[in-house]
Amino acid sequence: MSEVLTQNQINELLSELLAGNAEETIVTHEKKVKNYDFKSPKKISKDQLKVLRGIYENFARSLSAYLSGILRVQCQIKVDAIEEQPYFEYNNALPDTVLMGVYDFKPLDENVLVELSNNITFAIVEMLLGGNGSGVVLEREFTEIEISLMERILKQIAICTDESWSNLIETESSLKRVETNSRLIQSISMDESVVIIIMEFVIKSIQGTINICVPIMNLEPILEKAGPSYLLRRKTDNQKENQNKETIMSHISETQIDMAAVIGNAVLTFKEILDLQVGDVIKLNQSVDSELKINVGGKTRFHGIPGIIKDRKHVKVTKAL
């Protein structure tokens, strides 16, 4: 219970207040203030940023589906952030050696830049050549063969870009050239304001980024066309897409697919096959303690180990690919 003041104490406090001797207690609440550069004000509104995010979320889905198909592994791409900044800030943050596509992007008069992080680039190249895609970043420049292999991916990026913009405006993107030295890229003026779409790229256990650099100068008139009706339509389209996915999954969920555990393979000559008789032993390429390949629909999707349960052969799944 709080202490009760006596009448004398109350009189003393009143006297001090009247005399102006009492200490005034001021309660202040600290507010968080963001720095704002009045010399370079932001040109893209919050609603326009939402439009850009929606466009490049569609781009991310389209590109991840394409890469998953050609690499035969799950690729996940999603929009992480969208930032507005002078081009020189973006360029200064680039490593000396990069893989960057320079694109014509009509109706924009300026070029658009698409940069893949080096670990992602090396992983994709390795998988295209039959490797497992370790994602090791090599401290060297890209070879002509590596650049040639990646041109296929960079050209597909142009197709995905046009598809993602199609709900707002008809665009025509084309790969102009591939740059590997960030200090020699002069496609955009250093002081020009740009929008950087930062995408997180996950392929197997490798994490990297795709950065898309779009000049703002010619972008503003296009984004102004996208009002509330576009955002509402995009929300409706996303809902329809989710419904379509659920419908497709409900139809294929009961579909029967062949699954086979492969105990091994052997290479024989035609004569050896003709000479095979009952009781002959064929040496396989699998050791006794190695895992089996489990094929789904003719493609290896899992690894496993064989066993017996209640007089029936079984395979225990040990790894999903």
Task: Give me the residue spans of the domains in the chain.
Answer: 46-224, 259-320
**Does residue 146 have a pLDDT over 50?**
yes
Reported pTM: 0.63
Task: Residue 160: name the closest of 284, 57, 308, 231 by CA.
Answer: 57
Look at 36-40, 178-182, 296-300 and tell me which has the smallest mean pLDDT.
36-40
**259-320 shares the fold of 46-224:** no
CA atoms within 13 Å, Cβ hemisphere of 74: 6
Homologous superfamily of domain range 259-320: SpoA-like (2.30.330.10)
Please state the rounded mean pLDDT for residues 284-310: 85
**Average pLDDT for the chain:** 82
pLDDT above 90 as % of the chain: 34
Please give the order of strands across the beta sheet that includes 292-296: 259-262, 292-296, 299-309, 312-320
Residue 36: predicted pLDDT: 56
pLDDT in tens, 254-292: 667 788 888 888 888 988 889 889 988 888 888 878 888
pLDDT of the residue at 84:
92
| Mean pLDDT, residues 172-187 taken together | 91
**pLDDT tens-digit profile of 190-238?**
888 999 999 999 998 889 999 999 998 878 777 776 655 554 455 555 5
Closest CA to 192 of 79, 118, 81, 113: 113
Q: Residue 57: is it exposed, middle or buried by C-beta count within 10 angstroms (0-12/13-18/19+)? A: middle
Residue 91 has pLDDT above 80, yes or no: yes
pLDDT band at 107 (very low <50, low <70, confident <90, very high): confident
The Cα–Cα gap between 251 and 253 comes to: 6
Which CATH number, 3.40.1550.10, 3.40.50.300, 3.30.720.210, 3.10.150.10, labels domain 46-224? 3.40.1550.10
- Give the model's pLDDT for residue 297: 73
Q: Output phi, psi for 3, to 5 deg.
A: -75, 135
Write out pLDDT tens, residues 16-50.
766 665 555 555 556 666 565 556 566 788 888 88
Report, as an integer, the average pLDDT of 40-63.
Answer: 85
Is 241 or 313 the better-scoring residue by pLDDT? 313
Instruction: For residues 236 and 293, give the distance between their C-alpha atoms in angstroms, rounded to a whole number.
Output: 43
pLDDT of 1: 46
Mean pLDDT confidence for 62-81: 91
Distance (Å, whole) CA 277 – CA 54:
65
More confident residue, 10 or 74: 74
How far apart CA 321 and CA 131 sit, in angstroms, is: 14
pLDDT of residue 232: 47
Q: 175 or 265: whose pLDDT is higher?
A: 175
Using alpha carbons, select from 60, 99, 101 the residue that is nearest to residue 81.
60
Residue 73 has pLDDT above 60, yes or no: yes
Higher per-residue pLDDT: 135 or 286? 286
